[in-house]
Amino acid sequence: MSHSAKPTRDTENTRKLMGLRRRGGRALTLAIAAPLLSGVLLVAYAALLSQVLGRAIEGNESLPTLLPMIIGMIVIVATRAALGTLGEWAGQIGAERIKASLRGEMFERLLTHRHGLGIRPASGAISAALVDQVEGLENFFAKYIPAMIAAAVLPVAFAVLLFPVDWVVALLFLLTAPLIPVFMALAGLGAQAATDRQATALSRLSAHFADRLRGLTTLKLFGREADATRDVHTASEALRTRTNAVLRIAFLSSAILEFFAALGVAGVALYVGLTYLGFLTIHAELTLVAGLFALIMAPEVYNPLRQLAAHYHDRASAKSALSEIERQIGALIVSDLTPSGNQSPLSPDEPLKIKDLHVTSQDGQIVLDNLDLIVAPGETVAIMGPSGVGKSTLARATLRLLPSNGDIFYRGISLGDWPEAELRRSTTYIAQKPGIFAGTIFDNIAFANPDAEAIDIKRAADLAHVSDFTRMLPDGLQTYVGEGGMGLSGGQIQRVGLARLFLTAPDLVILDEPTAHLDPETEALVLDNIFAFAEGRALVILTHADAVSRRADRILRMAGGKLIRTPHRRKPDRAKAGERA
């Protein structure tokens, strides 16, 4: 089974790499054309050189007579040098375009299909994929593809051109040249496996180092820094060993090439020499000019194959890099997220409909088991359950932040058909632990809407009762906080996260334990403003607090990966109760 899967993956990776080649544009086309044009000029150069030497030796022609051909040779040498430089430059430009396009697609992939907490790849591994693995594709496009096309075209073309000159030499080239790619391919089978192991080791080292760096404080507190250093050293040694294995195979493929190339050149030289000495009469009328032309062309026939061998390991590296990228981030080709008109069987006016939603954890345990949920327009639904039951998983899957199976329809359109930007504009999700970055409290609130006016940001801070504690700070909302909310309490972080809600204009709001760290009085005040904001919108609250759930229109309890209806009578919020009074 593994033997059949390997060629399939290898073929698929080759197809994808060749598909990415089109993104290089005209620059990559120029990089491919430059060696071919240089090969045409090489034939002209060899013909002129053989003519000059033949006429000087056999015809005793003077320098002025040969000077036009010598000038022509100088022009050809200069032109070929310029073509070589131009080809390398164009290859680099094309490769940079491909890398930039690919990195953009990878970022889009990460934003569009984010992994859920607990089953996402390590950040170090993702960074390695975005930086190191993408860089590993550069030589494939800039050097390997031009060398591969030149190696496929030029040796055969040179051999065909030599047939009118001497069919024996041409036949010798046609017999020896194909042996080189065959044996290189055999060596390449081992190179691919070794390169795969090297790419995996690099990703593991990156993830290992990033994780240890992130937990450096904890390691020092428990006196485990020596163990962490030893672990990083072990991972580094594994990478070094696997890199050396790749290099050994690369050197082996080069040795195979040089052996057959030397064998071919020596065979031509031996044939020409023995013919001139009269020991071979296969082509007794071989002229000095023809013999020199064959000898000059002999090493050049194998030179494109030498170039291919020099960059052959880039092919294995690119395939391994592509596999590692897709292992960490997912399939490269991002689907066009335009609404396809795939409508829900029920009314498109329903903000949210979930049918047979199924999610499993990384270790294969079922978290959500064919879960169903419908939220009506303007309805508030509270989903209750203990921590770890799967409430947050449901929220992430509902908003396309977590891979899942099943049908999710938002406003009558399949969730997968929504453009990313439009989906994020029309939905708001406040997590249980809001992400707070290093900066001012003001900037952290404005993160939800960078175009918001200062007065709107201050109003959002008031509605979330952030102003209650910032008034006591010397810099107020301009107080600087550290990464992750360092300098703030859990309740204050939660209020900053909730303030972001009031800068959005969504149709669907999902809040995960919005008041878990608030005291009862602050909780009631914040809930009043949340429910007032959600008036006319679909609101889903994930909670285990009765004080929160009693305000909802409907209560569902999560158990066994499913939702169970719980009868209750809604308790009005305090603001509305005060109005009736």
* 167-176 and 225-277 helices, crossing angle to 10°: 160
Q: How many Å apart are CA 352 and CA 381, to the nearest integer?
A: 11
373: β partners: 354
Which sign does the torsion angle of CA 364, 370, 376, 377 carry? positive
N-terminal to C-terminal alpha carbon distance within the chain? 74
Token representation of residue 30: 């120029």
Question: What SS3 state is found at 33?
Answer: helix
Q: What count of residues does the chain have?
A: 581
Consecutive H or E run containing 166: none
CB atoms within 10 A of CB 322: 25
C-alpha distances in angstroms, 70 versus 49, 56, 74, 429, 437? 8, 12, 6, 76, 69
Radius of gyration, alpha carbons of the chain:
35
Identify the CA nearest to 133 among candidates 269, 319, 304: 319
Write out 351-364 in H/E/C secondary structure. Answer: CEEEEEEEEECCCC
What percent of the chain is helix, strand and coil (3-state, nearest 5)? Answer: 65, 10, 25
> Quick check: is 513 catalytic?
yes
Q: How many Å apart are CA 62 and CA 56, to the nearest integer?
A: 7
Given strand 562-566, what is the order of strands in its sheet? Answer: 427-430, 508-512, 538-543, 380-384, 554-559, 562-566
Q: Which residues contact 288 (CB under 8 A, 6 or more apart)?
A: 53, 54, 57, 58
The owner of tokens 């065979």 is: 267
What secondary structure does DSSP assign to 78-127, as a single string? HHHHHHHHHHHHHHHHHHHHHHHHHHHHHHHHHHHSPPPTTSSPPHHHHH
| CA 165 to mean position of chain CA atoms | 51
Per annotation, catalytic residue among 138, 326, 350, 513: 513
Active-site residue set:
513
